[in-house]
């Protein structure tokens, strides 16, 4: 074999076997590097998973949930007086929060001598107030948001009835009866 090629450059004598060997070593090193990197990521994720699982277990074990109250406990949580103005302010707040500020034919009727909607006989200081709300709304889908916002208030509201009429243009008419309660302690 000649030492110089046709153009006068010196020929290098690198055998093909050396190139294959170098490529093979690079592939082996790359394989082990990728495997090591992936194993480190899996180990980190396993540690995170174990930490989260321990946090969830701790939260579930130390969770004190009171799903129901006895009647006596329930009566003690009720307000001791009734204010129609405060109720109107709360209901207006819920209406505005739910996006129903532009509802037409909005009316609230209070019945302060309402009979309790429950079958249980309460003490004589337990008083029920029936509130009838009616309105016409542009979007009948926001009524669920209204009910959800009503449930998130501090005051206890009981929904006695809810009638929603949906029209073909997407608007609707709502008539609902809700109850709220107070413990009339002198």
Strand ranges across the sheet with 157-166? 104-114, 126-137, 172-183, 157-166
C-alpha 159/C-alpha 130 separation (Å) is: 10
Look at the block and give the residue holding tokens 């046709």.
6
* pLDDT tens by residue, 124-180: 788 888 999 999 888 777 888 888 888 888 788 888 888 888 888 878 888 999 998
CB proximity list for 124: less than 8 A, separation 6 or greater: none
C-alpha 14/C-alpha 17 separation (Å) is: 8
Write the CATH number of the domain with boundaries 71-183: 3.30.70.60
pLDDT tier at 1, thresholds 50, 70, 90: low
């Amino acid at each position: 074999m000649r030492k110089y090629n046709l153009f006068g450059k010196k020929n290098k004598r690198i055998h093909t076997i050396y190139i294959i060997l170098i490529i093979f070593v690079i592939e082996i090193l790359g394989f082990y590097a990728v495997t090591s990197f992936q194993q480190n990521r899996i180990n980190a994720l396993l540690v995170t998973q174990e930490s989260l699982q321990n946090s969830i277990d701790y939260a579930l074990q130390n969770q004190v949930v009171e799903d129901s109250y006895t009647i006596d406990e329930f009566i003690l949580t009720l307000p001791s007086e009734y204010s129609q103005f405060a109720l109107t302010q709360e209901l207006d707040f819920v209406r505005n929060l739910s996006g129903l500020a532009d509802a037409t034919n909005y009316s609230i009727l209070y019945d302060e001598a309402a009979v309790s909607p429950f079958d249980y006989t309460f003490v004589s200081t337990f008083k029920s107030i029936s509130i009838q709300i009616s309105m016409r709304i542009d979007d009948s889908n926001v009524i669920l948001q209204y009910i959800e916002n009503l449930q998130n208030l501090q005051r206890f509201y009981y929904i006695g009835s809810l009638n929603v009429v949906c029209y073909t243009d997407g608007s609707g008419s709502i008539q609902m009866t809700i109850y709220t309660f107070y413990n009339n302690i002198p």
